Structure 1
Amino acid sequence: MLPVIKTILYASDIREGSRPAFRMAVQQALANQARIVYLHVLEPVSAATEEMIRDYLPADIRHLHTDQMLDAQRQRIRERMAAFMASELDGRELPEPVIRVDIGHPDSGILAAAKAEQADLIVMGDRASHSLSRLFLGSTAQSVIHRSPVPVLIVPLKAASSGD
């Protein structure tokens, strides 16, 4: 029996040059009539910074700042998706994507979101310039591939590319 793909988790770093990976996620969503969950994981601040923020800002102000930062990222994603859909979908309909912005380490955040959203496929880009860098430094993509219980589709991205 062929696998059924109902939910695609698209993980993005929101940097320029990531459009080919989103294009692949959209292509898979259209082919499978699946929904897309667009995920961006923000790295947590360092322990020292977190401690300083805790010491100098009241909790309600800290939470307000975090909420504003996450909302700004969600808005940025909405704008990028609207531009993509206007320029590339040619009138085809795609179910409204879910937007998630989480805080954590990217690989763990991607795997946690895939589990929470019951993703059947993870689509993400990989900017590693060559296999030697992956061998010594590792990469988010490599970590996700090795730890994911669902298929992972990796789209090679140029390290510095123009356009989204």
Structure 2
Amino acid sequence: MARTVIIGIDHSVYSEQAFDFYIEHAMLKGDKIVLVHVSEYTSLVQAPALLTDPVVVSDLIKEEEMKVKQLVDKYSEKMKKHHLGGKVKQMAGKSGEAIIAAAKEEEAGLIVVGTRGMSKLRRTFVGSVSDYVLHHSDVPVLICRSSQHS
């Protein structure tokens, strides 16, 4: 039976490793992929110094849009290579909340995310997208730990 799989992507090696792990170990024939990228625009406009110069804000937004396009192109090629159907969903807000919202909207059967392998203390202070997704998801979550983690 076909299922919808949400895969959280960003510019990190961790999300790429999670995508690759899904391909190698969890992909089922007929899976529909929804790649979810959460925009960093919110953090750009929250910096007080930037708010005073609209040109700087505009340039930063254009730069982010270019990076997102490159990211989408990269994952689109990976999907074509593996004959996967699906789409990219660009969202704004907090990453964990956006991934959960996308999973509900798309009626996902699985969520795949990468993790940096942060210590418990660091997760407590800065938060963890994978922790948030794991604790708020109504569907199975595949958290792929980085192969670079020691």
Normalising by structure 1, we get a TM-score of 0.67
Change (3 A) 1:135 1:20: closer
Distance in 2, matches of 1:78 and 1:71, equals 11
2:43 to 35, 40, 45: 45
Q: SS in structure 1 opposite 2:43?
A: coil
The aligned runs of 1:103-142 (5 Å cut-off) are 103-130=92-119, 132-133=120-121, 136-137=124-125, 138-142=127-131
- 1:14 paired with 2:2, answer no
Q: SS in structure 1 opposite 2:134?
A: helix
2:84 to 73, 94, 117: 94
1:73 to 59, 68, 71: 68
Change (3 A) 1:7 1:49: same
CA contact (8 A) 1:121 1:152 kept: yes
4+ residue segments displaced more than 6 Å: none
Q: Which runs of 5+ in 2 are unaligned?
A: none
Normalising by structure 2, we get a TM-score of 0.73
Instruction: Tell me how many residue pairs correspond in the alignment.
Output: 145
From the CA coordinates, give the structure whose radius of gyration is larger.
1
CA contact (8 A) 1:128 1:134 kept: no
Q: Which runs of 5+ in 1 are unaligned?
A: none
CA contact (8 A) 2:14 2:114 kept: no
Q: SS in structure 1 opposite 2:13?
A: coil
CA contact (8 A) 2:9 2:16 kept: no
Kindly report the root-mean-square deviation, in angstroms, between the aligned alpha carbons of the 2 structures. Answer: 3.3
Distance in 1, matches of 2:135 and 2:47, equals 31
Distance in 1, matches of 2:62 and 2:89, equals 13
Change (3 A) 1:50 1:149: farther
CA contact (8 A) 1:12 1:124 kept: yes
Change (3 A) 1:147 1:5: farther
